[in-house]
């Protein structure tokens, strides 16, 4: 597999101008305020699982528009709180899966909270449990083009809001330290992490792993593989919609959230990645407003560093605690 983008020395200097709406902050302040006003108290119940080494709970919290969203909460069974928390967001097409599938962070002494992604959960893994009750105008297969005609209707407005509202819910849970909440995720989950970092102050840390949903213009024009190709396919049919599409996407671009981040971050990038081009990762990284570092995997594709990266994340996060 060849390198998919610019040489590393140019990537490290890559700081593109990315369109930012004049009302970006107002849009997100209003969106979050409306959803918070419609929220209810989070509900926690024991998960049905044969696993006994950890305490695993089924969390239902209020996401976008007060709509119910699911998550798993996994923690060391006998640990004394309050414990630090790692909130994880899932990659494109996946769901939260079954209780107990992901126990690494709990094994390392954290409360691990894994958010289901509304409407997803049927492309890989063990499934999801959260529907997206909103309709959509004409869209290409997948989720990238749902509601592209209007930022108010775009799919990721709901997902990013869910991500923020989960932080609100986690901060209220018994046995957690609300001052030590970190966020992470791979691919789409990394993109959600960056968005949450730009919308939530005072996070402990942010760990976007080969993050998706950054620098949309370059991604759409240069990425050879799905899911960014969903947007190119949409534009190939809706030939007069380019300005509308990229105006909508500017409200959801990871670069614009990175500019507002306040927590330290550990990014990762893979230089043979055909799904998330390295330049799009560096676009967000080089605009990131707080302290940040980057782990580079020169000979990997979209799988990135996998367990190697998790070990680096665990070491890095322990240094922040």
Helical ranges in the chain per DSSP H: 8-11, 24-37, 104-107, 155-170, 188-199, 216-222, 229-237, 242-250, 254-258, 278-287, 307-318
Q: How confident is the model at residue 19 (pLDDT cuts 50, 70, 90)?
A: very high
State yes or no: pLDDT of 140 exceeds 80: no
DSSP state for residue 52 in the 8-state scheme: -
Neighbours of 101 (CB within 10 A): 14
What is residue 227's predicted lDDT score, i.e. its pLDDT?
97
What is residue 234's predicted lDDT score, i.e. its pLDDT?
96
- Flag whether 159 is in a domain: yes
Q: What is the pLDDT of residues 20-30, one digit of tens each?
A: 999 999 999 99
- Flag whether 75 is in a domain: yes
What is residue 81's predicted lDDT score, i.e. its pLDDT?
81
Give the H/E segment covering residue 207: strand 205-209
- Flag whether 2 is in a domain: no
Residue with the larger pLDDT of the pair 12 and 1: 12
What is residue 24's predicted lDDT score, i.e. its pLDDT?
98
Instruction: Report residue 172 as tokens.
Output: 């209220």
Q: How confident is the model at residue 141 (pLDDT cuts 50, 70, 90)?
A: confident
Do 269 and 211 meet the contact criterion of CB atoms below 8 Å apart?
A: no
What is the tally of structural domains in the chain? 1
Q: What is the pLDDT of residues 160-177, one digit of tens each?
A: 999 999 999 999 999 999
What is residue 310's predicted lDDT score, i.e. its pLDDT?
98
What is residue 248's predicted lDDT score, i.e. its pLDDT?
98
Catalytic amino acids?
Answer: 187, 273, 302
State yes or no: pLDDT of 48 exceeds 80: yes
Q: What is the pLDDT of residues 53-109, one digit of tens each?
A: 999 999 999 999 999 999 999 999 988 889 999 999 999 999 999 999 999 999 999
Q: What is the pLDDT of residues 245-303, one digit of tens each?
A: 999 999 999 999 999 999 999 999 999 999 999 999 999 999 999 999 999 999 999 99
End-to-end CA distance of the chain: 39
- Flag whether 63 is in a domain: yes
92 is in an annotated binding site: yes
Q: What is the pLDDT of residues 187-243, one digit of tens each?
A: 999 999 999 999 999 999 999 999 999 999 999 999 999 999 999 999 999 999 999
- Flag whether 3 is in a domain: no
CATH number at residue 13: 3.40.50.1820
- Domain around 220: 8-318
Spatial strand order in the sheet of 292-297:
43-46, 54-62, 68-76, 111-115, 83-89, 176-186, 205-209, 265-270, 292-297
Instruction: Report residue 20 as tokens.
Output: 């930012």
């Amino acid at each position: 597999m060849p390198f998919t983008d610019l040489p590393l020395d140019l990537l490290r200097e890559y700081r593109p101008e990315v369109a930012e709406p004049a009302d970006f902050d107002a849009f997100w302040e209003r969106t979050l305020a409306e959803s918070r006003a419609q929220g209810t108290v989070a509900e926690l119940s024991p998960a049905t699982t044969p696993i006994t080494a950890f305490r695993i709970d089924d969390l239902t919290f209020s996401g976008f528009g007060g709509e119910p969203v699911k998550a798993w909460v996994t923690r060391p069974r006998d640990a004394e709180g309050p414990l630090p928390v790692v909130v994880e967001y899932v990659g494109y097409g996946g769901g939260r899966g079954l209780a107990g599938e992901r126990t690494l962070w709990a094994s390392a002494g954290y409360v691990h909270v894994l958010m289901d992604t509304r409407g997803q959960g049927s492309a890989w893994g063990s499934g999801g449990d959260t529907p997206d009750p909103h309709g959509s105008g004409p869209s290409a297969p997948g989720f990238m083009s749902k509601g592209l005609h209007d930022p108010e209707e775009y799919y990721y407005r709901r997902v990013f809001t869910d991500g923020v509202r989960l932080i609100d819910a986690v901060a209220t849970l018994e046995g957690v330290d609300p001052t030590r909440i970190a966020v992470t995720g791979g691919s789409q989950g990394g993109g959600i992490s960056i968005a949450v970092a730009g919308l939530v102050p005072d996070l402990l840390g942010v760990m976007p792993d080969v993050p998706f949903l950054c620098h949309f213009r370059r991604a759409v024009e240069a990425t050879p593989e799905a899911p960014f190709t969903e947007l190119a396919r949409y534009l190939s049919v809706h030939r007069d919609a380019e300005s509308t599409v990229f105006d909508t996407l500017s409200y959801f671009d990871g670069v614009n959230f990175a500019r507002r981040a306040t927590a330290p971050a550990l990014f990762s990038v893979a230089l043979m990645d055909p799904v998330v081009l390295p330049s799009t990762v560096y676009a967000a990284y080089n605009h990131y407003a707080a302290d940040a570092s980057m782990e580079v995997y020169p000979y990997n594709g979209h799988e990135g560093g996998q367990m190697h990266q998790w070990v680096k994340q665990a070491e890095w996060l322990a240094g922040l605690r």
